[in-house]
Structure formats: C-alpha cells, structure tokens
Structure 1
Amino acid sequence: MKTRTISAIIAMIILVSTNVSARETLAKATKGKFLMGVAINMQQVNGVNPVESDLIANEFSAVVAENCMKPQPTHPQENKYVWDDADKFVAFGEKNKQTVTGHCLIWHSQIGRWMFVNDSGKDVSPEVLKERMRQHIYAVVGRYKGRVKGWDVVNEAFEDNGTYRKSKFYQILGKDFIKYAFQFAHEADPNAELYYNDYNVETPAKCDAIVQLVKELKAAGCRIDAVGSQSHMHMVNPTLEATETSFKKLKAAGVHILITEWDVSILPSPYDGANISASFKYSKEMDPYRDGVPADVQQKWNKRVLDMFGLFLKYSDVVDRVTVWGLNDAGTWLNGFPIRGRMDYPVLFDRKNQRKSVVDEMIKMAQKTKVKK
C-alpha cells in the first residue's frame, strides 16, 4: 500500500511538472520582445489534424499563410478573385488572438501570366501593368483592412549581387514597380505596416541594395516599416557575423527587422539560397539522415539555432517578429527543395508534432533577456 501511495505521488508530481512545462511557450517567453510566429497551411487552418491546429494556436503569437494569400491563389484571372482560403486563414488568426501578416502582394513567382500580357500574348504597357497592380493590391489589402497588421508588399526583387531581378514587373515598369506597390498598399490601408521581404539578406551586396531601396522609398514619401529577412539557413551559412552585420545596416537605415521564414536545414546543400526555381538530382550523400539524426549532429543543429535565436534577442529593440517557416519537420518545404525526396529536420517540432529539446533552451534564453522595446 505504501509503495502504491509513493508511486501515485511521484506520478502526480510528474504530471504537474509536465503541465507546468507545457504552459511555457515561446509566445509567452518572447512577449514584449518580439512576436513569435509560424507559417501555416490550409490543412492546419481547417483542422484536418487538430493537434497541429492546437499547437499553432497555443505555441505562437503570430501567423502567416504559406500560400493562400499569394497572387496566384487570390487572383488567378484578371476579373476573378478567390477568397475562401484567405478568409479562413485570417479568421483562424483572429480566433486565436494572433497577429496576422499578409504574404505577399507582389512577387514574380506564383502569379498569373495574365498580369503581364494582353489578349495577343504580348507584354502590356507600363500604364496597364501599373493599373493591374493597383487593382490587385486595392482588392486584397482592402478586403482585410484593419484585420492584417502588415503586408509583405514586394517579395524578392533583388539578385544576390545586388542587381534588380529581371522580373516582368521590372522589365515593364523598371524599379518603380516597387514604389507603386508600396503607394497602393498604403492607400488601401493607411494603418497597415508595410514590409519589403527577401532571402539571403545577409549577403553584403544584396543587403546594401535593400538599404538603398529603403532610402529611395522614404525619399519618395512611401511608408516602409520593416525589412523581412527570410532567414532560410544552413549549418554554416550565413555566419552569425554576416547576419549581425545585416542587422546593423538595416537598423541604421531606420527600419525594423522581421525574421520572416526561418528554418535551419541540417542537410548538406548544393548551394546557399532560397530561389525556388533551383533543383538538383537526388543522391544518398545529400540525404544522410533517413534513419534519424545522429546525436552529435543534432547538438550542432541545436547550437546553430540557439546562436541565431540569441542574436534575434540581442536586437529585440528592432526585431519585431521571428517566424518559423512551417510547424513541423513532416511539412517543411525543405523536404523537397532543392532536392526532391529528402528528409530534412529544419524547424522546431518533429514529425510527431513533439517539441524539440532546443525549444526549452530557447524559452529559457528568452526569459533571461530583458525587454528592450
């Protein structure tokens, strides 16, 4: 009897301890420092897996849609808008009292060809493209006016060498397409924050080009609140030093910083970047952890995550949000990029929706950091 009583007490202590631990989340630990966000898909919004939907609601203070608010899904044809998924996504965030970000308004990828051509299949005039941009932005931003905190207005307009990407927007309108996009977004919702978003912002030439863009937009009277650094990272690149240097440059330019699409690939990579048009052939050498990650490799990944998270906290006076690109390893886009069929482990929850051990360390780190806002 005595043994059973002791066992019961121990079990109760373990249960209470577990429940207390479960109440500690990154969202709570980072409150007042920055928002802790996650990108979500429609299955999660629709509650196909209730565990995932609950995790998103309880563990994070901000959400962004992986795909449903991009130009192609919302505006597949010139005179056709599709709102069902975007409406559900925004309502999901509101229901859970989370900050909602709109992603994204203008992007060269995942956009209908109709935006750029006339009935003959030839490029439209600058005036026509400008008007189509205005109508698109007014419709999307206007629909969610007052419900979305901020918008990724323009996505990935630069190459890594700092030159403008020769997208159709650029070919027809020149670099002014960015200015027009920010003007239209502000007109559609004057209270919404406006962001420029890109990958490899840690690359010096690209960062310098973005800083110059910020200066030009401000000189033109445009609102720009923050620059989003996607932060798709690898085990070595970008370095902590390069990342901090980019933070310093952006801070000096007078904008805040958003970590918008954070993940850390544990796999070897044929290149550094997030250009979604890239692809490489599968090989076992590039997919070494089919049976799980060795303990020593996992420790290195944990340290990499903690080093970067510590840097985000160091700059929490200007870092407004840290968003992980995907809830769990099973759903990460990196399982198929840039090599299809691999098993990557780049985010904070595993394939069984269990917190990785690094999350508790991140929470402790955040709790020890003083609020700088």
Structure 2
Amino acid sequence: MIKNKHIRLTSTALILSLIFAACQVNKKQEEPSLKSALEGKFYIGTAMNHSQILGLDSASLKVIKKQFNSIVAENCMKSEQIHPKENEYYFDLADQFVDFGEANDMYIIGHTLIWHSQAPKWFFVDEEGNEVSREVLIERMKNHIHTVVGRYKGRVKGWDVVNEAILDDGSFRKSKFYNIIGEDFIKLAFQFAHEADPEAELNYNDFSMAKEGKRNGVVVMVKSLQEQGIRIDGVGMQSHIAMKYPDIKEYEKSMQAFSELGVNVMITELDLSVIPSPFENDGADVGNRFKYSQAMDPYKDGMPDSAVVAFNKRYMEFFNLYLKHQENISRVTLWGVNDGNSWRNNWPIPGRTDFPLLFDRNNEAKQIVNEILIAAKNH
C-alpha cells in the first residue's frame, strides 16, 4: 500500500508540474506586445541593421520577432551599398533581410531606391569623370530600379521610391538627379518601380514634414504625379523628433494634408532625441556634423527621472496622434530597435549617449511601451 501511495503522489506531482509548466507557457504567450496591441490599427515596424540581419545580435532579434510586424532595411538596400559599381550588385545582405522578413511574417519595406545622399558616384559620371547626359542617367536609374525591385517582386511589399527630394521651403532639392534630369526624375522613378513590380506599394519619404513649406511642396509634387497618371501610394513622414520640435499641431496638419491626397500616411524613421541639439532644426540631413562637447552630452550616465517623465509624455503625444488618425495611417516604423544601435548617438554630434527608442541598451522595454499598450487598448 505504501508503494502505491508513493506512485500516486509521484503521479500527482507530475501532473501538477505539467499544469504549472503549461500555465507558464500560456502566460508567456499572453504577454502583450506592440504588434498584438496595434493589430488592426497599423503596422508597427523597425529598421534592421547589418548585425541583426546577419543574426549576430540575437537579443535584438528576439525583440523584433516579438514586438514588430514590419521591417525596413536601414542601409543594405541603399544604392551606394547594393550597387556600388555600374555592373556590380551586392544582394547577399538584402537577400538575408528579405528572407528574415518572410520567415517571420513581416511586412517588408525596401529603403530606398533614389536618394541623393547615399548614391554611388558612378551614377552621375562617365569613365572620364565627366557628368553624364540626361538620357544616360535616366537609363541608369531605370536599370537600377528594374534590377533591384524586380529581384524582390512580390516579396518586398513596399518601396521608398524617392527620398528627400523637397527642401523645407517646398522647392526641389538641387541634387544631381534634379540638376541632370530635372523634376521628372521623381516621376520616372515611380514609373520604373511600378513597371518592375505592379503590386508593390510605392512611397515618397522625407524629413521635416511638419514644416509648412515642405508640406505644401510635397502636396504639389504628389498632385502633379497623380495628374500625370503616375502611381504613388503613400507619403512617409520621417519623424526624427525631439523634445521641442516639431510642433505637434503642425505635424498633425501635415498628416491630414497628405491623407487628403488619397494616399496612405506612414510614420517612418521614428525616434525621439532627449539630448540638446546644436541647432534649432527639425531636419535630418546626415551631412550636418558638429564637434563633441560634454555640455551637449548631459545624460552620459543615464537619464534622470524628470527626463524620463518628459520623454514618456512627449512620445505619447505622438502615439496618441497616430491612434487618433489610425484610419489614415498604414504603418509606424521606429528607426532602430534599442538605444544602443540608434544613429542618434552619432548625429549630429558623434559619440553622445541618447535614448531615442522604445527599448533600452539591454533590449528591455521602457515604461513608454506599457503606456502605448494601454493607449492602444483604449482606442
């Protein structure tokens, strides 16, 4: 009888252990995430860097898989990297990026096809170093876009076709593309992308979109494309925001102005800098650089509680705005996973310590994440 009692006790303990384990699994599965909380409202995404794409940053990859349902290539699809020489393409990293997205059921965004800042120099000159003709540059654009978009046809769901072509006053940026081709380079880029993948979402992307001049310039540009029968599906509002800029009301005006065009509004490249800026500017021109000083790096040892409270309040102003306009927003994309791999640590002053993202340097969710989850539940 004692032996049977021992067997019964052992069996009971085993059953209880299994029940406890099952509860722990269910608890883990039920833990809220950004993507589950925002499901049906808009995609929530992040940019992936080289080490994440290569699988070297496993901690960040866990965050990406759990929290996000959309990814964008931070650098590996920019023409300077993917097409550094006229007849040479480097697709290995981009292929791995797309493979990761598909394996994890992500909405994949390609970034970016035509951008003046990180375009290879050969695009614009012949073998002797002379500036190419309009016809030659158009052909090079066409070949580049057809090759890159065509390779990922049906796999990459959306493309930032043209990046940062409008200045803050609403005029066209006098880039090499503009100077050689004229404003038609934008129309041609969208035309070529549509030819390469008729089903892909085609977007225009730019910074300082809360400024009235740029807002009006982008509206005029989009209307011109639409009147010419050129397909454009969305406008991406780069949102490299700070504690004092942009003005939230002007930002909302731009969201409304773009949605009234009948295109999707996308919040792209979102991050919130809490450290001082050397200029009162809400742009994101990567060419701007300033020397390091300790006075401009106040939180090197961590943010004080008062700064955290202000940070959370400022972020929620924007997320509440996104939730308010969720019918017109297709996705919100953070520009990085955690504070440690954010470009804001090195721009516009290299070597600083910033805290612009939703996850800290240990990939732990900040308090703001829970606030977003609560807000999403109430909308």
| SS across alignment from 1:231 | strand
| SS across alignment from 1:69 | coil
1:105 corresponds to which residue? 113
Aligned residue pairs: how many?
A: 357
Shift of 1:20: 5.0
Pair 1:200-2:208 in alignment:
yes
Which of structure 1's runs of 4+ aligned residues deviate more than 6 A?
none
Shift of 1:19: 4.2
1:90 corresponds to which residue? 98
- Once the two structures are superposed, residues 182-235 of structure 1 have per-residue CA deviations (whole angstroms, 9 ceiling, x without a partner) of 000000000001000000111110010000011000011111111000100000
- Once the two structures are superposed, residues 39-95 of structure 1 have per-residue CA deviations (whole angstroms, 9 ceiling, x without a partner) of 011211222121211211111010001100110111110111110000000000101
Structure 1 residue identity aligned to 2:365: R
- Of 354, 359, 363, which residue of structure 2 is paired with 1:353? 363
Q: Aligned residues: percent identity?
A: 49
Pair 1:322-2:322 in alignment:
no
Q: Distance in 2 between matches of 1:67 and 1:56?
A: 17
TM alignment of 1:196-235, pairs within 5 A: 196-235=204-243
Q: Distance in 2 between matches of 1:314 and 1:212?
A: 26
**TM-score, normalised to structure 1's length?**
0.93
Structure 2 residue identity aligned to 1:367: K
| SS across alignment from 1:317 | helix
Gaps of 5+ in 1: 1-11
Pair 1:297-2:297 in alignment:
no
Shift of 1:23: 2.2
Structure 2 residue identity aligned to 1:276: V
Q: Distance in 2 between matches of 1:290 and 1:222?
A: 48
Pair 1:140-2:148 in alignment:
yes
**TM-score, normalised to structure 2's length?**
0.92
User: In structure 2, do the counterparts of structure 1 residues 148 and 20 end up closer, same or farther at CA, with 3 Å as the change threshold?
Assistant: same
Q: Distance in 1 between matches of 2:25 and 2:211?
A: 44
Q: Distance in 1 between matches of 2:80 and 2:27?
A: 43
TM alignment of 1:231-250, pairs within 5 A: 231-250=239-258
Shift of 1:124: 0.6
Contact 2:54 2:93 in 1 (8 A): no
| SS across alignment from 2:95 | helix
Pair 1:153-2:161 in alignment:
yes
Q: Distance in 1 between matches of 2:71 and 2:30?
A: 20
Structure 2 residue identity aligned to 1:231: S
Pair 1:189-2:215 in alignment:
no
- Of 67, 72, 83, which residue of structure 2 is paired with 1:75? 83
- Once the two structures are superposed, residues 313-341 of structure 1 have per-residue CA deviations (whole angstroms, 9 ceiling, x without a partner) of 11111110000000000000010000011
Q: Distance in 1 between matches of 2:66 and 2:55?
A: 14
User: In structure 2, do the counterparts of structure 1 residues 262 and 49 end up closer, same or farther at CA, with 3 Å as the change threshold?
Assistant: same
Q: Distance in 2 between matches of 1:67 and 1:234?
A: 23
Shift of 1:22: 6.8
- Of 360, 367, 371, which residue of structure 1 is paired with 2:377? 367
1:60 corresponds to which residue? 68
Shift of 1:159: 1.3
- Once the two structures are superposed, residues 239-297 of structure 1 have per-residue CA deviations (whole angstroms, 9 ceiling, x without a partner) of 21011111111111221100110000000112221000001111111110011101011
1:6 corresponds to which residue? none
Shift of 1:168: 0.2
Shift of 1:16: 5.3
2:292 corresponds to which residue? 282
